[in-house]
């Protein structure tokens, strides 16, 4: 594809020329030579960086020596160096020139990637083309000079201000269960939470309970890779309106007047909460990230946001790792943690557990039961397992009880919270039982 690459010669010359006035600017500059469009200025800037690394002064004389006469002649000679040295009257606008250089570099890279996507879309697998293209475009946006500061003083002021406020016991997004919230102080922004269980234990039901409760005052995004939106809405209406899930299979035949009344009332309530459900098949991390970013812009930074993914192992990974499932899951796990931090959201990712649970006498899950990757354990801020004794033992005395086992808690205690589980509604309720391990 033929196109005129965007560039700003004046900004690049002012950028390079500023170093003749104040050579200390090179110490704080993070622009790389390849980010300049002009190959002549790229050569000169590379020589300036080389002089700095060698501890030599930066001026016309040292640059002539560093570049060498033969090369210097090809880029304009000593006269061009003198021109650059005298072209900038002050360094006051240096950071503006630096910003322009980076922006034009980003424009060129964006055009190159867009052209690459167009060419690959003609013949390559479209999902891989889009996935690779989105990743490359996101990398362009990673600006090392985006205003981030490592100075701790502003953080100390913020911390002092936070400590002066009375947040009560709940500083994060409430789960809706009092004893679980006492142990976690709510789900914290920027945290990756892994919720693991064997199939049919009730992890989707539990996640829906948490998501619906959070959506009343905050915002919940539910990414379902296993179940369509209409099926999830049936379960949500059942747990919220205490409607028998068996009757919901055929309401026209099974519903009585009271059921219809509860159903209508629940539908009305649900229409006013901040719950968004995404049920597209074959989602990848880029798709999830884009939707969360869009919702973050829509609701603003001040609104707390809970992101639930059901479930981790169904997320479509990078085709490069197609033969290595462990590497694929590791990459997905790292990406979800990065998303939680960058978009300042809580991410709860449901996870299947290995069959090793079934072979033990005590079938309560442990950390090593997480499938595919130890990276999940490393990335997660909180890992919780679900266990129901009546799933394994029919005559157990612990009927309709769900244990929430906090196996890893980076910023708080571990332990077990016991909840009641009403199967006919898919609803969880508080019980007077929880144990803190440490």
Q: What is the pLDDT of residues 209-241, one digit of tens each?
A: 999 998 888 999 999 888 888 888 888 888 888
Residue that wins the pLDDT comparison between 375 and 178: 178
Q: Give yes or no: residues 53 and 178 share one domain.
A: no
Q: How far is CA 316 from CA 33, 171, 287, in A?
A: 37, 33, 10
Beta pairing, strands 401-409 & 219-224: unpaired
What whole-number distance in Å separates Cα of residue 376 and Cα of residue 73? 56
Q: Give yes or no: residues 205 and 84 share one domain.
A: no
Show the DSSP H helices in 225-324 as ranges: 229-241, 245-248, 251-254, 257-270, 285-299
Q: Give yes or no: residues 136 and 171 share one domain.
A: no
Q: Is the dihedral of CA 71, 9, 57, 151 positive or negative?
A: negative
On whether residue 62 sits in a domain, the answer given is: yes
Q: How far is CA 18 from CA 21, 24, 438, in A?
A: 5, 10, 58
Q: What's the whole-number mean pLDDT along residues 310-339?
A: 78
pLDDT at residue 288 above 80?
Answer: yes
Question: Taking every pair of C-alpha atoms in the chain, what is the biggest distance, in angstroms?
Answer: 95
Structure tokens, 429 = 């309720």
Q: What is the pLDDT of residues 299-318, one digit of tens each?
A: 888 889 999 998 788 887 76
Four-CA torsion 82, 84, 89, 95, nearest 10 degrees = -150
The pLDDT mean for the chain works out to 82
pLDDT at residue 96 above 60?
Answer: yes
What whole-number distance in Å separates Cα of residue 13 and Cα of residue 31? 14
- Are the CB atoms for 353 and 369 separated by under 8 Å? yes
What whole-number distance in Å separates Cα of residue 229 and Cα of residue 200? 19
- Give residue 164's pLDDT: 57
Q: Give yes or no: residues 183 and 127 share one domain.
A: no
What whole-number distance in Å separates Cα of residue 136 and Cα of residue 188? 30
Residue that wins the pLDDT comparison between 375 and 57: 57
On whether residue 161 sits in a domain, the answer given is: no
Q: Give yes or no: residues 195 and 257 share one domain.
A: yes
- Give residue 147's pLDDT: 44
- Give residue 1's pLDDT: 42
Q: Give yes or no: residues 120 and 54 share one domain.
A: yes
On whether residue 145 sits in a domain, the answer given is: no
CATH number where 400 lies = 3.40.50.300
On whether residue 49 sits in a domain, the answer given is: yes
User: Which helix (H) or strand (E) segment is 309 a member of?
Assistant: strand 305-310
Domain boundary among 92, 125, 140: 140
Q: What is the pLDDT of residues 69-78, one digit of tens each?
A: 888 888 888 8
Q: How far is CA 427 from CA 200, 214, 220, 275, 430, in A?
A: 15, 15, 18, 17, 10
What secondary structure, in 3-state letters, does 2-25 show? CCCCCCCHHHHHHHHHHHHHCHHH
Q: Give yes or no: residues 216 and 303 share one domain.
A: yes
Q: Give yes or no: residues 41 and 111 share one domain.
A: yes
**Residue 208: count of CB within 10 angstroms of its CB:** 28
Q: Give yes or no: residues 133 and 263 share one domain.
A: no
Q: Give yes or no: residues 178 and 111 share one domain.
A: no
On whether residue 338 sits in a domain, the answer given is: yes
Please, what is the Cα angle at 271 between 265 and 273, to 5 degrees?
A: 110
- Give residue 2's pLDDT: 44
Residue that wins the pLDDT comparison between 369 and 386: 386
Selection from 91, 139, 106, 94 nearest residue 36 by Cα: 106
On whether residue 1 sits in a domain, the answer given is: no
- Give residue 144's pLDDT: 46
pLDDT at residue 379 above 50?
Answer: yes
pTM above 0.75, yes or no: no
Lowest mean pLDDT among 61-75, 181-195, 364-378: 364-378
On whether residue 150 sits in a domain, the answer given is: no
CATH number where 22 lies = 1.10.860.10
- Give residue 245's pLDDT: 80
Phi, psi of 24 (to 5 degrees): -70, -15
Lowest mean pLDDT among 144-153, 353-362, 370-379, 393-402: 144-153
Q: What is the pLDDT of residues 143-166, one digit of tens each?
A: 544 444 445 565 556 655 655 555
Lowest mean pLDDT among 153-167, 200-214, 320-334, 420-434: 153-167
- Give residue 193's pLDDT: 92
User: Which helix (H) or strand (E) segment is 135 a member of?
Assistant: helix 126-140
Q: Give yes or no: residues 345 and 288 share one domain.
A: yes
Q: Which domain holds residue 129?
A: 9-140
What whole-number distance in Å separates Cα of residue 369 and Cα of residue 230? 32
Domain boundary among 89, 122, 140: 140
Q: Give yes or no: residues 136 and 173 share one domain.
A: no
Write out the E strands in 151-304. Answer: 192-197, 219-224, 275-278
Beta pairing, strands 275-278 & 219-224: parallel
Q: What's the whole-number mean pLDDT along residues 338-361?
A: 86
Selection from 388, 327, 326, 383 nearest residue 351 by Cα: 383
On whether residue 410 sits in a domain, the answer given is: yes
CA of residue 407 relative to chain centroid, distance: 22
Task: Please state the domain count of the chain.
Answer: 2
- Give residue 52's pLDDT: 84
């Amino acid at each position: 594809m033929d196109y005129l690459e965007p560039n700003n010669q004046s900004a690049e010359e002012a950028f390079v020329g500023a170093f003749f006035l104040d050579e200390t600017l090179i110490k704080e500059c993070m622009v790389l030579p390849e980010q300049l469009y002009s190959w002549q200025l790229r050569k000169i800037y590379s020589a300036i960086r080389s002089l700095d690394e060698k501890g030599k002064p930066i001026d016309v004389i040292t640059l002539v020596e560093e570049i060498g006469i033969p090369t210097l002649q090809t880029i304009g000679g000593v006269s061009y160096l003198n021109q650059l040295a005298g072209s900038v009257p002050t360094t006051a606008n240096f950071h503006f020139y630096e910003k322009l250089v980076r922006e034009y570099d980003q424009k060129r890279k964006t055009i190159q990637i867009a052209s690459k996507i167009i060419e690959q879309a003609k013949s390559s697998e479209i999902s891989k083309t889009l996935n690779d293209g989105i990743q490359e475009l996101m990398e362009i946006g990673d600006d090392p000079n985006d205003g981030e500061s490592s100075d701790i003083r502003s953080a100390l002021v913020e911390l002092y201000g936070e400590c002066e406020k009375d947040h009560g016991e709940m500083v994060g997004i409430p789960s809706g269960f009092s004893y679980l919230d006492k142990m976690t102080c709510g789900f914290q922004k920027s945290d990756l939470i892994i919720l693991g269980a064997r199939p049919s234990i009730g992890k989707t039901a539990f996640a829906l309970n948490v998501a619906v409760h959070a959506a009343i005052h905050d915002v919940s995004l539910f990414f379902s890779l296993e179940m369509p939106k209409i099926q999830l809405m049936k379960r949500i209406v059942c747990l919220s309106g205490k409607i028998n899930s068996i009757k919901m299979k055929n309401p026209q035949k099974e519903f009585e007047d009271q059921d219809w009344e509860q159903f209508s009332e629940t539908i009305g309530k649900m229409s006013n909460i901040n719950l968004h459900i995404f049920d597209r098949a074959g989602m990848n991390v880029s798709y999830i990230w884009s939707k969360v970013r869009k919702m973050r812009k829509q609701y603003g930074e001040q609104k707390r946001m809970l992101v639930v993914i059901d479930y981790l192992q169904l997320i479509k990974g990078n085709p490069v790792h197609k033969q290595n499932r462990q590497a694929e899951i590791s990459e997905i796990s790292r990406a979800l943690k990065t998303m939680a931090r960058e978009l300042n959201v809580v991410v709860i990712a449901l996870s299947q557990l290995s069959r090793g649970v079934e072979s033990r006498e005590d079938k309560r899950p442990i950390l090593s039961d997480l499938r595919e990757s130890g990276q999940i354990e490393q990335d997660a801020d909180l890992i919780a397992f679900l266990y129901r004794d009546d799933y394994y033992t029919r005559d157990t005395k612990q009927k309709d009880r769900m244990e929430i086992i906090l196996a890893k808690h980076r910023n708080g205690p571990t332990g077990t919270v016991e909840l009641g589980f009403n199967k006919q509604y898919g609803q969880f309720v508080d019980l007077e039982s929880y144990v803190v391990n440490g």
